[in-house]
């Protein structure tokens, strides 16, 4: 193991090969590849086998940011006007309400259980707000792996896209509320709440600008390699700009993809070139994500951790179903959408670290969030696959045949 972890190139080769073998071996049991990658990453983590080169863990934030930016850009492909007409207002309503309802269910549940938990009100509010966050990467990879297409998939991609913006708004508002409850001085509470709205607007505006630049340029460029290099350059420029300005790269890159898909004649070719670039990037992202999860903390989360995990699961499943009924989306969409929105990752951990810096007395929240991330990253891909099969939008390749078929509900 020492030889593997002391040589970066050897370590990369080992990770790629062992991950692919694992995914292929478990494919016959219909395990999503993303789950295999995450579990292998966890097994190779410093807390267990310590089989990942330290350089990969040092640059995990860069790997994460690059991967999420590319995912966000690719999600923008679904924002074609014809798709937006299908999703429309109901898609926006269910996307916003599912986040709000999930937070509400967690907050109410923790308040009812607080006789045994002994949490302060600000801690409960912050835990509830973090529960709204959904990680798009695991869900997106399951969608790609099973070639899911259809109205449900469009609603799902819209939900995981809008969820980030809603989560950021809820979190920043709750930070202000928590400071007020704890007697911390705030110069202007109204301005503190307005700032995240401005940040979201600026992120989208930058994305729209870069999207038009990419569309204009690609209408005059030719060649898949040229498309790949130039589109990667634009995505990285936009991501770097947002990071420097403390804006949201995810929202920015979604806006780039949305504008580009509607205004470029070569959008299909460009998105295809990006898709061909995806597999090794996604594999590294999930391996590093798994390696950064310390599974040894699970026994220490206690009743608060278990209650939060259970309440968030209930919130995503039934809160999303309630939101779907209010939004009047198709019955299958409201019933199964929550199953595909369980995974949490970077955004939730980012919120937890922000709380740790702002409210040191609530540092235990980081442990709870990491425990929920471990749980949701393992269970989430399985439930996302289940949802896609239940609505009949998952596509598989028949054995001994290259012809795809749509997997229908059993």
Q: What is residue 1's predicted lDDT score, i.e. its pLDDT?
A: 65
Instruction: Note if the pTM is more than 0.85.
Output: no
User: Do 261 and 84 form a contact (C-beta atoms < 8 A)?
Assistant: no
Q: Is the pLDDT of residue 365 over 70?
A: yes
Q: What is residue 60's predicted lDDT score, i.e. its pLDDT?
A: 83
Q: Measured between alpha carbons, how far is 315 from 279 in angstroms, rounded to an integer?
A: 32
- pLDDT, tens only, 337-349: 999 888 887 678 8
Whole-Å CA distances, 368 to 184, 302, 344: 24, 9, 12
As given in the structure block, the two tokens for residue 394 are: 């998952």
Long-range residue pairs from 12-18, CB within 8 A, at least 24 positions apart, any chain: 12/53, 12/56, 14/51, 15/40, 15/44, 15/52, 15/283, 15/284, 15/287, 16/280, 16/283
Work out the angle between the directed axes of helices 151-181 and 136-145 (0-180°, nearest 10): 170
Work out the angle between the directed axes of helices 364-390 and 136-145 (0-180°, nearest 10): 20
> Span 57-407: which CATH code?
1.20.1530.20
Q: What is residue 83's predicted lDDT score, i.e. its pLDDT?
A: 66
- Cα 311 to the center of its chain, rounded Å: 19
Long-range residue pairs from 36-40, CB within 8 A, at least 24 positions apart, any chain: 37/282, 37/283, 37/286, 37/287, 37/290, 38/138, 38/286, 38/287, 38/289, 38/290, 38/377, 38/378, 38/381, 39/290, 39/378, 40/15, 40/287, 40/290
User: Do 146 and 396 form a contact (C-beta atoms < 8 A)?
Assistant: yes
Q: Measured between alpha carbons, how far is 278 from 218 in angstroms, rounded to an integer?
A: 20
User: Do 175 and 353 form a contact (C-beta atoms < 8 A)?
Assistant: no
Mean pLDDT value of segment 202-227:
90
Q: What is residue 126's predicted lDDT score, i.e. its pLDDT?
A: 93
Higher per-residue confidence, 399 vs 288: 288
Q: Measured between alpha carbons, how far is 163 from 143 in angstroms, rounded to an integer?
A: 17
Sign (positive/negative) of CA torsion 214, 220, 224, 225?
negative
Q: What is residue 225's predicted lDDT score, i.e. its pLDDT?
A: 87
Higher per-residue confidence, 168 vs 186: 168
Look over the chain and give the mean of its residue pLDDT values, rounded to a whole number. Answer: 85
Could you tell me which of 359, 341, 369 has the C-alpha nearest to residue 166?
341
Q: What is residue 237's predicted lDDT score, i.e. its pLDDT?
A: 95
- pLDDT, tens only, 287-324: 888 888 777 887 877 889 999 999 999 999 999 999 98
Could you tell me which of 396, 374, 372, 361 has the C-alpha nearest to residue 35?
374
Beta bridge partners of 394: 407
Q: What is residue 278's predicted lDDT score, i.e. its pLDDT?
A: 84
For 166, residues 6+ apart whose C-beta sits below 8 A from its C-beta are: 95, 96, 99, 100, 132
Cα-based angle 367, 371, 373 (whole degrees, multiple of 5) = 115
Could you tell me which of 350, 339, 321, 409 has the C-alpha nearest to residue 380?
339
| Model confidence band, residue 403 (pLDDT cutoffs 50, 70, 90) | very low
- pLDDT, tens only, 24-47: 888 777 778 888 888 898 888 888
CA atoms within 13 A on the CB side of 31: 18
Could you tell me which of 205, 221, 314 has the C-alpha nearest to residue 259?
205
Q: What is residue 199's predicted lDDT score, i.e. its pLDDT?
A: 84
Q: Measured between alpha carbons, how far is 392 from 152 in angstroms, rounded to an integer?
A: 9
Q: Is the pLDDT of residue 405 over 50?
A: no
Q: Is the pLDDT of residue 397 over 60?
A: no
N-term to C-term CA, the chain: 44
Mean pLDDT is lowest, of 168-172, 212-216, 336-340, for 168-172
Q: Is the pLDDT of residue 181 over 60?
A: yes
Beta bridge partners of 395: 406
Ranges of each domain in the chain: 57-407
């Amino acid at each position: 193991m020492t030889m593997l972890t002391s040589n970066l190139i050897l370590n990369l080769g080992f990770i790629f090969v062992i991950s692919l073998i694992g995914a292929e071996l478990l494919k016959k049991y219909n395990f999503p590849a993303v789950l295999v990658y995450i579990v292998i990453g966890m097994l190779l983590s410093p807390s267990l086998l310590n089989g990942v080169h330290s350089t990969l863990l040092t640059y995990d934030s860069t790997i994460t940011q690059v991967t999420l930016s590319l995912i966000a850009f690719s999600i923008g492909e679904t924002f074609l006007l014809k798709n937006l007409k299908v999703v429309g207002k109901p898609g926006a309503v269910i996307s916003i309400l599912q986040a709000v309802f999930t937070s509400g269910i967690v907050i109410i549940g923790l308040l009812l259980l607080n006789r045994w938990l002994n949490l302060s009100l600000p801690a409960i509010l912050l835990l509830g707000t973090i529960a709204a966050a959904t990680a798009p990467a695991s869900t997106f990879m399951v969608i790609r792996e099973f070639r899911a297409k259809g109205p449900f998939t469009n609603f799902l991609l819209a939900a995981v896209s809008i969820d980030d913006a809603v989560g950021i708004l809820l979190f920043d508002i709750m930070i202000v509320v928590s400071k007020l409850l704890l007697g911390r001085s705030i110069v202007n509470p109204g301005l503190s709440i307005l700032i995240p709205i401005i940040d979201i607007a600026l992120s989208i505006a930058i994305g729209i600008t870069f999207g038009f630049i990419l569309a204009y340029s690609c209408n005059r460029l030719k060649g898949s390699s040229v498309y790949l290099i130039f589109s990667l350059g634009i995505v990285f420029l936009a991501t770097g700009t947002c990071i420097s300005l403390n804006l949201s790269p995810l929202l920015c890159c979604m806006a780039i993809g949305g504008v580009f898909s509607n205004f470029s004649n070569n959008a299909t070719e460009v998105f295809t070139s990006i898709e061909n670039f995806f597999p090794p990037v996604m594999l590294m992202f999930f391996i590093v994500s798994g390696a950064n999860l310390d599974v040894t903390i699970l026994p220490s989360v206690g009743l608060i951790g278990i209650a939060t995990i259970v309440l968030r699961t209930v919130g995503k499943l039934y809160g999303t179903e309630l939101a779907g009924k209010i939004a009047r989306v198709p019955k299958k969409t409201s019933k199964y959408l929550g199953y595909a929105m369980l995974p949490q990752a970077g955004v939730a951990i980012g919120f937890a670290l922000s709380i740790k810096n702002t409210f040191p007395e609530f540092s235990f929240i980081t442990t709870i969030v990491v425990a929920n991330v471990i749980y949701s990253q393992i269970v989430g891909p399985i439930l996302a696959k289940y949802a896609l099969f239940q609505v009949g939008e998952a596509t598989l390749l028949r054995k001994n045949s290259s012809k795809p078929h749509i997997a229908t509900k059993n």
